[in-house]
């Protein structure tokens, strides 16, 4: 019985600790010309600003904690200030508690899981254009992506490929399991204490 109680208490402590060890979203991206990066628990709300940049040759990297137990949304507001526009990005998750829509812990620009947001924070536009892999002109090779192979992508509102426009990209980040509510963990602890008390009373009575 003592071994059982110790194991149960250890499990409850681990569940509680697991909530504090949040999954991290690691984002690496270049955007021609500027961008703002947000995390949200709604596809219709930008949420919390977690990064920004205004120099497309610079590869920006950010690490952001996800909200446990629910679907999170990555939103990117990217603005082209003339000439060709483009977004190059790679996004990875720190553990298996979440996955992207492609079923893995890695999402690259050019993948189906990173799309133009037309129904929530964005506005309708033309289809997203895949402009080629890292190294393609006019941007050349951008550092910071290692062995990953993201694609430059953009959405042009007109046909001349020379727009001053803002594009909204989004990706869903799905929780792979529900996290117990704090109240449930507290009830588990109270139940274990009650069981321990009952066991002690039983031993004291000689039964």
Strand bridging mode 164-175 / 72-81: antiparallel
Average pLDDT over residues 115-121: 74
- What's the whole-number mean pLDDT along residues 28-41? 97
| Tokens of residue 147, six digits | 């062995």
Residue-wise pLDDT tens digits, 147-206: 999 999 998 875 555 678 889 999 999 999 755 555 544 445 545 455 556 566 656 666
Query: And the tokens for 18?
Result: 């697991």
Tokens at 82, concatenated:
């003339």
Q: What is the pLDDT of residue 18?
A: 47
State the pLDDT confidence band at 12, using cuts at 50, 70 and 90. Answer: very low
- pLDDT above 50 for 119: yes
pLDDT of residue 117: 79
Domain positions in the chain are 2-15+181-205, 23-175
In this prediction, residue 8 carries a pLDDT of: 42
Coil vs helix vs strand at 40: strand
Q: Output the pTM of the full model.
A: 0.77
């Amino acid at each position: 019985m003592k071994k059982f109680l110790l194991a149960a208490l250890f499990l409850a402590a681990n569940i509680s600790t697991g909530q504090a060890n949040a999954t991290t979203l690691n984002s690496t991206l270049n955007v021609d010309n500027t961008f703002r990066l947000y995390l949200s628990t709604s596809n219709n709300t930008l949420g919390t600003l977690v990064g920004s940049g205004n120099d497309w040759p610079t590869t920006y990297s950010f690490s952001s904690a996800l909200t446990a137990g629910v679907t999170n949304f990555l939103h990117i507001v990217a603005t082209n200030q003339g000439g060709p526009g483009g977004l190059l990005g790679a996004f990875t998750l720190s553990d298996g508690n979440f996955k992207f829509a492609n079923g893995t812990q890695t999402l690259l620009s050019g993948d189906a899981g990173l799309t133009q947001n037309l129904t929530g924070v964005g506005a309708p536009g033309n289809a997203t254009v895949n402009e080629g892999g890292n190294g393609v002109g006019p941007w050349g090779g951008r550092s910071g992506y290692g062995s990953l192979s993201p694609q430059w992508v953009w959405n042009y509102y007109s046909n001349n490929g020379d727009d001053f426009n803002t594009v909204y990209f989004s990706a869903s980040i799905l929780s792979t399991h529900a996290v117990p509510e704090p109240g449930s963990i507290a009830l588990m602890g109270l139940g274990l204490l009650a069981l321990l008390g009952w066991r002690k009373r039983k031993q004291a009575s000689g039964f």
